[in-house]
C-alpha cells in the first residue's frame, strides 16, 4: 500500500501531540503516507483518542495499527512488508505523579518500548528516528534557562528518569548502528486536544463549571508553556533535520509563567474570577521549567510564535465547540 510513497511511522498518533502532527502533515500534503501506531492506552478515554483521529481515516494513505510498542513480535510482523522512511516516536506512559505510583510500567513502556522501536529501525535500516523526550529530565537543575549541553540532569520522578534512560538508549543505537536520531525535549505543551488530566485543560473545565481549581503551593512555580502548533513545527523541523548521529533539542517557548499568572490569564480569557482549592506542593513537581531554544532555532528552524493569552483563547474556543 505504501511502498511507492515516503512513509512515516508515528507512534502515539491518536494522542494530543501525535494527532496534531498528523493533522498538519495531511493538511499540507494529502498524499503523505502515514502509519499511526497506537495502543489506545486507558490512561485517559479511548473515545477522546478516537475522536482525535476520526477524520484521518478518510485519507487513503493513512493507516491505523492498534499495537502496543511493548509487543515487538506484533510490530515486526506488521512492518515485515512495509518500507518506512522515518519514525516519529511519541508514544509513552505520561504523567509525573502517576509514575511515582507505578514506576515499573513507566520504564517498561518508555525504555523497553523505545528499545523495540530502535530494534525495528536497525533491522529495517530506517535512518531517521525522532524521539519525544521531556523537559522533566532537567529536574532540579538550577541553571536556567536549561540548555541541551547541561550535564547536570537531576530527575525527581520515575517518568523523568525513564525519559533520560530512553535518550541514552537512542544515543547508543545512533553510535552503534549509524542511525540518525533526534531527541526533542518538550516543555509543557498545551492547546486543542490536550489530555484532560493536564493542568490547563483541567483548569478550564473546572472554572467553566464554577468549581475551584487545584492550586499547589504558593503559586510561584513557573512553567515554559508551549502551544501545540509550535511544537508540531519543531517536530517537522526535526523530521527534516539531517544528522549523522544523535542530537538533543529543547522545544519550548523560552518564557516562563507562574501558576498564579496562568490562573489570572485563564480568568481573563473566561471573564470571571477563578476559585482556588489551595493544596500543598506535589511530590515530583519541579519549581521551574525554562527552555533555551537557540539550538533548535538555529538547526531546526524552530520559531515559536504563540503567546500564552492567544493560545488560551484558541484552546477555549476548541473546548466550547466540543461541548
Per-residue pLDDT of 280-320, as tens digits, reads 888 777 889 999 999 999 999 999 999 999 999 999 999 98
Could you tell me the sign of the dihedral formed by the alpha carbons of 199, 200, 202, 206, in that order? positive
Q: Is 68 within the bounds of a domain? A: yes
**Cα end-to-end span (Å), the chain:** 37
- pLDDT above 70 (res 323): no
**Assigned domain for 321 exists:** no
- Which positions are catalytic? 159
CATH of the domain at 236: 3.40.50.720
* Domain contains 258: no
Coil vs helix vs strand at 250: strand
Which residue range forms the structural domain that includes residue 54? 7-190+226-252+292-305
Torsion angle of C-alpha atoms 59, 61, 65, 71, degrees rounded to 10: -150
How is 24-35 classified by DSSP, letter by letter?
HHHHH-TT-EEE
- The answer, yes or no, to whether residue 4 has pLDDT greater than 80, is no
Q: What angle do CA 287, 288, 292 make, to 5 degrees?
A: 160
Q: Report whether 228 contacts 75 (CB < 8 A).
A: no
In a domain, 118, yes or no: yes
Q: In total, how many domains does the chain have?
A: 1
Predicted model pTM: 0.95
Domain-embedded: residue 143 = yes
Q: What percent of the chain has pLDDT over 90?
A: 86
pLDDT score, position 285: 77
* 32 found inside a domain: yes
- Does residue 32 register a pLDDT over 80? yes
Residue 167 has pLDDT above 80, yes or no: yes
Q: How confident is the model at residue 183 (pLDDT cuts 50, 70, 90)?
A: very high
In a domain, 128, yes or no: yes
Within-domain flag for 281: no
Does the pLDDT value for residue 267 go beyond 80? yes
Amino acid at each position: 500500500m505504501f511502498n511507492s510513497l515516503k512513509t512515516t511511522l508515528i507512534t502515539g498518533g491518536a494522542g494530543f501531540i501525535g494527532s496534531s502532527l498528523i493533522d498538519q502533515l495531511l493538511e499540507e500534503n494529502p498524499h503523505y503516507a502515514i502509519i499511526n501506531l497506537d495502543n489506545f492506552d486507558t490512561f485517559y478515554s479511548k473515545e477522546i483518542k478516537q475522536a482525535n483521529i476520526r477524520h484521518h481515516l478518510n485519507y487513503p494513505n493513512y493507516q491505523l495499527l492498534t499495537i502496543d510498542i511493548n509487543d515487538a513480535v506484533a510490530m515486526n510482523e506488521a512492518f515485515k512488508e512495509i518500507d518506512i522512511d522515518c519514525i516519529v516516536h511519541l508514544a509513552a506512559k505520561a504523567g509525573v505523579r502517576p509514575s511515582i505510583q507505578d514506576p515499573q510500567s513507566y520504564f517498561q513502556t518508555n525504555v523497553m518500548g523505545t528499545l523495540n522501536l530502535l530494534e525495528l529501525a536497525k533491522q529495517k535500516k530506517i535512518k531517521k528516528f525522532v524521539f519525544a523526550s521531556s523537559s522533566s529530565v532537567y529536574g532540579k537543575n538550577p541553571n536556567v534557562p536549561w540548555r541541551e549541553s547541561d550535564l547536570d540532569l537531576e530527575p525527581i520522578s520515575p517518568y523523568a528518569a525513564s525519559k533520560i534512560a530512553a535518550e541514552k538508549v537512542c544515543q547508543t543505537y545512533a553510535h552503534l548502528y549509524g542511525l540518525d536520531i533526534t531527541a526533542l525535549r518538550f516543555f509543557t505543551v498545551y492547546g486543542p486536544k490536550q489530555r484532560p488530566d493536564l493542568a490547563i485543560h483541567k483548569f478550564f473545565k473546572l472554572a467553566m463549571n464554577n468549581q475551584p481549581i487545584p492550586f499547589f503551593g504558593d503559586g510561584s512555580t513557573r512553567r515554559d508553556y508551549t502551544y501545540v502548533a509550535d511544537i508540531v513545527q519543531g517536530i517537522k523541523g526535526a523530521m527534516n533535520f539531517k544528522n549523522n548521529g544523535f542530537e538533543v533539542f529543547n522545544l519550548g517557548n523560552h518564557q516562563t509563567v507562574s501558576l498564579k499568572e496562568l490562573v489570572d490569564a485563564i480568568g481573563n480569557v473566561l471573564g470571571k474570577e477563578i476559585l482556588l482549592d489551595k493544596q500543598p506542593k506535589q511530590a515530583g513537581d519541579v519549581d521551574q521549567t525554562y527552555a533555551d531554544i537557540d539550538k533548535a532555532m538555529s538547526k531546526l528552524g524552530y520559531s515559536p510564535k504563540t503567546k500564552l493569552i492567544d493560545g488560551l483563547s484558541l484552546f477555549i474556543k476548541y473546548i466550547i465547540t466540543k461541548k
